[in-house]
Structures are given as structure tokens and as C-alpha cells.
Amino acid sequence: STFGELKNRLFHLRVDENGSSVKQAFTLPEFSQEIEGLVELPLDKQRHLVVLGGRGGDKGEGGRLYWGVLDREKGTLDFPDKGLQGVGVQAPQLGPGQRDISELQLRPDGTLWASAGADEGDQGPFKSSIYQLGTLKPDADSPFEATAQPKSTPIAGTKIEGFAPLGKGWLTGADNEALGGQVGILA
């Protein structure tokens, strides 16, 4: 995120048994929302669609998906006008303090999933949901197709901030503010 003079950046890292190094770094454009999720989808051997999840919630606005094209060979990350504007998402309604996107995950079948979280303060109450946003396709002009009736798994008592595929379910990570973190499994 942008903080003072520091601007949004995306890093391409190399991680191995000897440590990590930055292969490429990109300054991101200013989006209308704070970014809280990222997935990528290959377009061809060198180009990848990069999809970023805007969390929403600020001033009552819903979450948004933004996208650009990363060309590893040229070392560029370009955002088309539509990708900079983004598209709104349909998130389950959890109540006050909601963020529509706190993480994104892309399944091998092309389905795009998000987590949403809500908290009314550092002591809660907390609520979350993992829900299917739609599908991604390798199309830089219009990559996202929304699901008409999104599947949603509500999770009471915790605020999911990250999740990853675990078989057909999910491994979840929560930040319950003053109440600490929590790891869980959704089958």
C-alpha cells in the first residue's frame, strides 16, 4: 500500500534454500482502494495476467478487481484502462466493518475465490466468508466473469485475512486483532 512517500509496489521474488532475492520490482498505479489480494494467470510463455483485489469497505464502497499484464521478458507491468478502473465484486454481506476482499485465490479450474471479513473493533465481534467470485480467463481486455449465485462459506467468530488451497478445502489464517491470530481448516 501507499504510505507517505512510499508507493504501491509489486515484487517478483526468487526464493530457494539459500534465501531470497528481488528479481523485478514494479511501482503500481494509484488504485481507488487498498489492495489485499493478488493472483496471476499465464497468458503465454512470458506474459501473465496479474489480478489485484481491492478490499472495499472504505466510505461504503464494495470491493473491486483490477488487472494488468506482466511481461517478464520485457520487464514491464502495464494496466489497460479497464484494468485500472476495475470491476466491482458481489460479496456476501457480513455487517459493519466489512472488507469485501482480504485475499484472493485461483483454483486450477479457473474459479476465482475471495475471503471477506468484518470486525466492529479490536475485540470483535468478527465474521468472515470465503466465497466464489467467478472465473478468470486468459483475456487481458476482459478476464473476469462473475458468478451469478456465488458459493459462500460463512465463518463466525474470526476474521480471515488469508487462505490457501488445501485439497478441495482451504487452509485459513485469521487476524482477530487484540484476540490474536488463528489458523484453521475448512474441508
54 conformational bin, left if phi > 0, alpha if psi -120 to 50, beta if neither: beta
Q: Is 178 helix (H, G, I), strand (E, B) or coil?
A: helix
The single residue listed with the C-alpha cell 461504503 is: 60
Q: Give the integer Cα–Cα distance in Å for 47 and 57.
A: 32
Q: Give the integer Cα–Cα distance in Å for 175 and 186.
A: 16
Amino acid at the residue 125: P
- Give pLDDT tens digits along the chain (187 positions): 667 777 888 988 999 999 999 988 899 998 989 999 999 999 999 999 999 999 997 677 899 999 999 998 999 999 999 999 999 999 999 988 899 999 999 999 999 999 999 988 898 889 999 999 999 999 999 999 999 887 888 898 999 999 999 999 999 999 888 898 989 898 8
**What's the pLDDT score for residue 58?**
66
Instruction: Write out the three cell numbers for 140.
Output: 487481458
Cα 75 to its chain centre, rounded Å, is 23
Q: Give the integer Cα–Cα distance in Å for 14 and 17.
A: 10
Beta bridge partners of residue 41, listed in sequence order:
49
Q: Please count the residues of the chain.
A: 187
Instruction: Write out the three cell numbers for 175.
Output: 487476524
**What's the pLDDT score for residue 1?**
63
Q: Give the integer Cα–Cα distance in Å for 38 and 175.
A: 19
**What's the pLDDT score for residue 72?**
87
CA dihedral 148, 153, 158, 159 (to 10 degrees): -30
**What's the pLDDT score for residue 60?**
77
**What's the pLDDT score for residue 48?**
95
Q: Give the integer Cα–Cα distance in Å for 116 and 142.
A: 23
**What's the pLDDT score for residue 180?**
87
Strands 76-78 and 87-88: unpaired
Report the candidate in 129, 146, 128 with the shortest Cα–Cα distance to residue 137.
Answer: 146
**What's the pLDDT score for residue 5?**
79
Q: pTM higher than 0.85 for the full model?
A: yes
The single residue listed with the C-alpha cell 456465488 is: 150
